[in-house]
Structure 1
Amino acid sequence: MAFKILIAIGAILLMVGVYAFIIEPRRLSEKHYLIRKNKERVLDISEASEMFELESEVQIAHISDLHFSRWFKPRRLKKTLRSLREAKPDMIVFTGDLIDDYKKWPVRQTKSLILALKQMQAPLGKVAVLGNHDYKSDGAGFVKEVLESAGFTVLINQELFGSNEEISLSVAGVADPSAKNAQYYYEATLAQWQLLLLHQPDYISQVKNLSMYDLVLSGHSHGGQIRLPKYYPKTDGAKTFTDSLYLPKEETLLSVNTGIGTTHLPLRFGVPPEVIYYHLSSKTEAFPEYVNPFDFKALIKEEKAKKAANKMTAKDTLLPVPTAKKAHSKANEDKIVDMSLFRRRYHQKTKKRTGS
């Protein structure tokens, strides 16, 4: 009997290992957030992002922590590239850690890496900052050259301005603290949206004029990379802000991307790779809070029918989608709850009420 139990435990561990090593690192989660100038609430529109095209004035794609290595080769970008082609963002932002360790980098992969990164296209350009792993083994110069060869503008304590017919953006990029020359202060510009790129999110505390920024984008944490019920590792530089969205200031939204690649161990469990899309709207009023029960799938079907009949108006685009709320956790009370969790809780409550 004990032998059979050991065999069962071994089989379970083997399946978990296969999943963590082969399956989850190859999954790709896409998140879409609709953000207004009033950031009291953020709408998760991941299940129906195309319905909000009339309100969204610019779409920014955010990728992070690719960690290319002997375990993670450029061909593994296929799903990410497909997502970017389908979403057609106006700007692509990369928040650091292109390679895992320059000393161990397989040089023959460099050309393939540049070609893969070149396939990322956006009319307002591609912007990047370097992460702590990019500086590892004196690799910063190599990483910067690769990114620039692929069409990225690399910001090392620099800022740039971009605009189209609808919106203007100012983007500042902080050198990673591992470079020991990080600059955290930049003058405000006349751009409608002020963005800050910062690889390690906990260093947001060093930004004295934080309220100036609408959106701070970061990575580094990997969301722990492996999450078990009683095991959730945290990384120096991302122990306070670990994943998802936060509101450290009333005017400032912080987004921590859990990345695409892996480090230390080529495993992911409970934290699939992700690409985040931010749909920015210059409307100043906050999203209303919807409290009545709703049928999300029915709502999607209804709105698609409206769009097909060419009856959708700007008023129709503001849907009664559940709004993000602050999570009251001991770790950080500024965190905004992921809408997938909200929907799961909502359906559980519905089942309890109906007795099913």
Structure 2
Amino acid sequence: MSGGVDGGGAGLQSIAVTASRPRLRRWTSWLFRATVLAGLACAAWGFVIEPGRLVERDHELALPQWHPSCDGLRVDVISDTHTGSPHNGLDNLDRVVSRLIASDAPMVLMAGDYVIHEVFLGTYVDADTIARHLRPLTARKPVVAVLGNHDWWKDGDRVRRALESAGVVVLEDQARAWQFGGCRFWIAGIGDYWEAPHDIGKAFAGIDDGAPVLALTHNPELFPDVPARASLLVAGHTHGGQVALPLLGRLVVPARSEFAIGHVVRNDRHLFVTPGIGTSILPVRFGVPPEISRLRLRSAR
């Protein structure tokens, strides 16, 4: 009798295993289809939807070296417009300009890379054409700029002349004083870390009083070398990595990873890196939408 019972139990187990196989195959098939669909959805978002977005993000920065007379000053920052990259033609530049005109910030900082050297499916737009589309902005408020590595690859002197002809103040290793109401401060523009002399001493040489200083450059790799005299260094270049995945983070950053995006504080010195507008190499953004960074500078004294 015991042998019969054991044989029956083995038979029931065999039937149960056989019956579970179709369910396992169905579950595996469903999981595969769901994974493929999720991958396609992420690809569509990264290559089609997110590069065409434009967010305006407020950032309030408390700066120990920022003078109380300038507390609350608003400054809009853009970088890496890369006009001509996919989803980022002249119509998108016009959209950016319209948003900046509508902003209550009294000035705009541009941190380089206005043209595109190369990007898959992109179209090169020359600096003179780009500059003409900036004229409505410079007619409303001061715009201060430095050049980026792509600008130098496409003839930096020509890009500079085009921007200046449109009313943009280009500061390459130069400083200039500004005043809004009772707030007087300097902007020191520093040349690109990769492609320009980036003579920091020369950029700060003309600053002859105790007014606070904003430093502006393209590549944040310069941050450790910028004097503590600067209340803040503003930079771009990284695109925020263009892709930021859950758990994995930012896969590729063309600078130190800690300088990828946002407000960075090291040894009581302050850096802000804007994620930019356009794309380069691959026309993809995921988790890092194009951004106009709206800074409010607060005195932490």
Normalising TM by the smaller chain, what interval?
Answer: 0.7 to 0.9
Query: How far, CA to CA, are the matches of 1:227 and 1:70 in structure 2?
Result: 20
Query: How far, CA to CA, are the matches of 2:199 and 2:290 in structure 1?
Result: 29
Query: How far, CA to CA, are the matches of 1:27 and 1:105 in structure 2?
Result: 19
Verify the 8 A CA contact 1:28 1:273 in the aligned structure 2.
Answer: yes
Q: Judging changes above 3 Å, is the alpha-carbon distance between structure 1 residues 224 and 284 closer, same or farther for their aligned structure 2 residues?
A: closer
| SS class of match (2:215) | strand
Q: Please name the residue that 1:25 is paired with.
A: 51
Verify the 8 A CA contact 1:171 1:194 in the aligned structure 2.
Answer: yes
Q: Please name the residue that 2:160 is paired with.
A: 144
1:122 CA displacement: 7.3
Verify the 8 A CA contact 1:35 1:279 in the aligned structure 2.
Answer: yes
Question: Relative contact order: is structure 1 or structure 2 higher (C-alpha 8 Å, sep ≥ 6)?
Answer: 2
Q: Please name the residue that 1:173 is paired with.
A: 189
Query: How far, CA to CA, are the matches of 1:11 and 1:232 in structure 2?
Result: 23
Query: How far, CA to CA, are the matches of 1:133 and 1:28 in structure 2?
Result: 22
Verify the 8 A CA contact 2:148 2:218 in the aligned structure 1.
Answer: yes
Q: How does 1:1-356 map to 2 (within 5 A)?
A: 1=26, 2-38=28-64, 58-71=73-86, 72-101=88-117, 106-107=124-125, 112-121=129-138, 125-136=142-153, 138-185=154-201, 186-187=204-205, 188-190=207-209, 192-207=211-226, 210-228=227-245, 229-250=247-268, 252-281=269-298, 283=299, 285=301
Q: Which amino acid aligns with 2:191?
A: A
**Corresponding pairs, count:** 266
Verify the 8 A CA contact 1:244 1:256 in the aligned structure 2.
Answer: yes
Query: How far, CA to CA, are the matches of 1:199 and 1:122 in structure 2?
Result: 24
Verify the 8 A CA contact 2:115 2:124 in the aligned structure 1.
Answer: no
Q: Which amino acid aligns with 2:92?
A: R
Query: How far, CA to CA, are the matches of 2:83 and 2:147 in structure 1?
Result: 14
Query: How far, CA to CA, are the matches of 1:110 and 1:174 in structure 2?
Result: 20
Query: How far, CA to CA, are the matches of 1:9 and 1:75 in structure 2?
Result: 35
For structure 1, list consecutive stretches of 5 or more residues without a partner in the other structure: 41-54, 286-356
| SS class of match (1:7) | helix
Query: How far, CA to CA, are the matches of 1:122 and 1:168 in structure 2?
Result: 22
Verify the 8 A CA contact 2:82 2:278 in the aligned structure 1.
Answer: yes
Deviations 1:321-353 (A, max 9, x none): xxxxxxxxxxxxxxxxxxxxxxxxxxxxxxxxx
| SS class of match (1:178) | coil
Q: Judging changes above 3 Å, is the alpha-carbon distance between structure 1 residues 265 and 118 closer, same or farther for their aligned structure 2 residues?
A: same
Cα RMSD over matched residues? 2.8
Q: Judging changes above 3 Å, is the alpha-carbon distance between structure 1 residues 273 and 162 closer, same or farther for their aligned structure 2 residues?
A: same
Query: How far, CA to CA, are the matches of 2:53 and 2:143 in structure 1?
Result: 24
Using structure 2 for the length normalisation, give the TM-score: 0.78
1:125 CA displacement: 1.4
Query: How far, CA to CA, are the matches of 2:130 and 2:143 in structure 1?
Result: 16
| SS class of match (1:24) | helix
| Aligned sequence identity (%) | 27
Q: Judging changes above 3 Å, is the alpha-carbon distance between structure 1 residues 146 and 93 closer, same or farther for their aligned structure 2 residues?
A: same
1:176 CA displacement: 0.8
Q: Judging changes above 3 Å, is the alpha-carbon distance between structure 1 residues 100 and 203 closer, same or farther for their aligned structure 2 residues?
A: same
Query: How far, CA to CA, are the matches of 1:146 and 1:160 in structure 2?
Result: 20
Q: Which amino acid aligns with 2:78?
A: I
Deviations 1:257-292 (A, max 9, x none): 1111111111100111111122234x554xxxxxxx
1:5 CA displacement: 4.1
Query: How far, CA to CA, are the matches of 1:10 and 1:105 in structure 2?
Result: 31
Q: Judging changes above 3 Å, is the alpha-carbon distance between structure 1 residues 149 and 198 closer, same or farther for their aligned structure 2 residues?
A: same
Q: Judging changes above 3 Å, is the alpha-carbon distance between structure 1 residues 177 and 105 closer, same or farther for their aligned structure 2 residues?
A: farther
Q: Please name the residue that 1:333 is paired with.
A: none
* Structure 1, 159-168 or 182-191: larger mean CA deviation: 182-191
1:123 CA displacement: 6.1
Query: How far, CA to CA, are the matches of 1:219 and 1:57 in structure 2?
Result: 22
Larger Rg: 2
Q: Judging changes above 3 Å, is the alpha-carbon distance between structure 1 residues 57 and 12 closer, same or farther for their aligned structure 2 residues?
A: closer
